[in-house]
Structure 1
């Protein structure tokens, strides 16, 4: 297949690009590194020249925090919506949208709401669409996992509150496997939550990272949520992932039923113990 891949230079997009090439697909990468600024691709007409001869589109563009030059509204909603509408105009039948767990009727942050807005546009169009909603994605090259590994390496491990937030991290290889399955699945127009094999608490995940490198469990230092939030208003300018909205999403939890994904893949996704 000839596939247009947006966000090809990002963490998830880079893994997808390598997998497409290994599977024998012809990938057309789109990102700022490849000369296309998503912030300027806000109408279907902007996208049409990129869709000649394309069989499927995969949109993996995503940012965890806004900057002056990159906004949720443009990157998560307006540009993807324009791309999806251009697919209808150009006759591109299949679109895989990588959204986010929590981009649903309970969404409450600009990050989630902008993802949901694009998802809703895609659902309304006469396309063979798949909307994938990953939980926390970890693996080689992932910035969020690198931050968590850094936290886990400390002899006294700081926690947000009591650290009992429920999460269901998914390895990037399972996200990629789900995308590849979407390209060949007979039944489209599906929304899939892409999660790891089972939920665990945030503190248990950090302790598992220590076990992976042969370290004993660490002592923990619970930090009151109010104090964390106050620090995040400053810390986000140094580490964008520390934006208060991201902490609020962590506090709510990040889990889903894994059964539909397992049926789609024909196997269970990896657990944190099995992941490379």
Structure 2
């Protein structure tokens, strides 16, 4: 089958692309930018749904396509962005499919059309309704929480699963999570048994559970015992959500807070009655993911970053104020006194402060980490040759530089390339 897969570089899209390629289909996969990934039977083209929403001829619909799969989506705090990508862009794509007389499978979200106060879901629902009204041979899939390797929310869940004490926004809301492999398998089953009429289908796991129970299952799959869960106080959660709306946090914002407090369930037998597929038990799917080493890294990395930021900023503060005279005494031991010593202390403090602030900026973090390694190495070498007696400090103030260098190298090695 000739398939046009839109959103092929997203979480679901990547898994679906490999499955379609492995099943022998010919796929024209789209993304906003050029892609180096090469798979058998896959041809890449550029498509930006935001641009398609305003410029209908931005994308030339390929010929001889049998099925359009729209796996594109965006979880943004910007309501205008959500509407542009998920509603208007999708509508323009569906219009092209109608002109070409092509079947459409659109991946939406469970809760679309029900929750009017979550623009991620309302924009999905608007596109769903538009597609069904076109009268095309169409299926709208509304999956529950999808977990698996490569997902942004899945990475957060894996990170939390490594913590002994886990803070949650809600401990009572019920959901039916499913593995991404089940969503992909459901799509392949629908391609084999396409329904006679346009319809909206929920795709949910077979087990009803809370988020805490899901995380506990993830912990057990990694060989860990159950965790201790605490509910974040409402006032603190609201404050965090307001900050998330302000700074564009995807994990915590007004939308995610509202969704966290509500049930997300449906009947799994609806999908089975249409295409014959039923999702597997989640416990059976959690054998290869999450990986305990990766989960631990995800959990420790932000803690390590925060610790180093505090160390560098703290060093800057101490050097400029309570420890200023102490810094001058140390320099005098090495033979540097007077105004030049004062300039050296201030310059070193400002340098430490800039490095601490630089770690907060993802765009510059890799270069900042490299500079930190160089600076700590230089500090250590200078002290070794000029003030070697500091190596015998019972508090190991110089020796601890070695630990910080190793920690910084680990952060540098695990820093994503941008």
TM-score after normalising by structure 2: 0.62
2:182 aligns with one of 159, 168, 174: 174
Shift in Å, 1:182: 2.3
* CA spacing shift, 1:96–1:47, aligned 2, 3 Å: farther
1:62 aligns with one of 47, 67, 73: 73
Matched residue, 2:64: 53
SS at match of 1:179: helix
Q: Deviations over 1:1-24 (max 9, x none)?
A: 111111000010111111111111
Matched residue, 1:42: 53
Shift in Å, 1:67: 5.8
Shift in Å, 1:148: 1.2
Structure having the higher strand fraction is 1
Q: In 1, Cα distance between the equivalents of 2:186 and 2:53?
A: 28
Matched residue, 1:216: 225
Q: In 2, Cα distance between the equivalents of 1:118 and 1:181?
A: 23
Q: Is the 8 A contact 2:193 2:275 kept in 1?
A: no
1:247 aligns with one of 242, 253, 257: 257
* CA spacing shift, 1:47–1:133, aligned 2, 3 Å: farther
SS at match of 2:29: strand
Q: Is the 8 A contact 1:166 1:255 kept in 2?
A: yes
Matched residue, 1:117: 126
Q: Which runs of 5+ in 2 are unaligned?
A: 35-45, 287-418
SS at match of 2:60: helix
TM-score after normalising by structure 1: 0.92
Shift in Å, 1:43: 5.8
The answer to whether the aligner puts 1:98 opposite 2:117 as a matched pair is: no
Please list, as runs of the form range in 1=range in 2, the aligned pairs for 1:1-276 lying within 5 A after superposition. Answer: 1-34=1-34, 35-42=46-53, 45-46=56-57, 49-66=60-77, 71-92=81-102, 94-161=103-170, 163-188=171-196, 189-235=198-244, 237=247, 239-276=249-286
SS at match of 1:211: helix
SS at match of 2:267: coil
Q: In 2, Cα distance between the equivalents of 1:21 and 1:186?
A: 20
Shift in Å, 1:44: 8.3
* CA spacing shift, 1:186–1:60, aligned 2, 3 Å: closer
* CA spacing shift, 1:175–1:27, aligned 2, 3 Å: same
Q: In 1, Cα distance between the equivalents of 2:51 and 2:148?
A: 30
Q: Is the 8 A contact 1:48 1:86 kept in 2?
A: no
Q: Is the 8 A contact 1:44 1:85 kept in 2?
A: no
Q: Is the 8 A contact 1:47 1:83 kept in 2?
A: no
Q: Deviations over 1:29-59 (max 9, x none)?
A: 1111343222101168426622322111000
Larger gyration radius, structure 1 or structure 2: 2
Q: In 1, Cα distance between the equivalents of 2:255 and 2:59?
A: 35
Q: CA RMSD in A?
A: 2.0
SS at match of 1:27: strand
* CA spacing shift, 1:160–1:7, aligned 2, 3 Å: same
Aligned pairs, number: 273
Q: Deviations over 1:157-194 (max 9, x none)?
A: 11214x12111111101111121222232424121111
* CA spacing shift, 1:250–1:55, aligned 2, 3 Å: same
Shift in Å, 1:267: 4.3
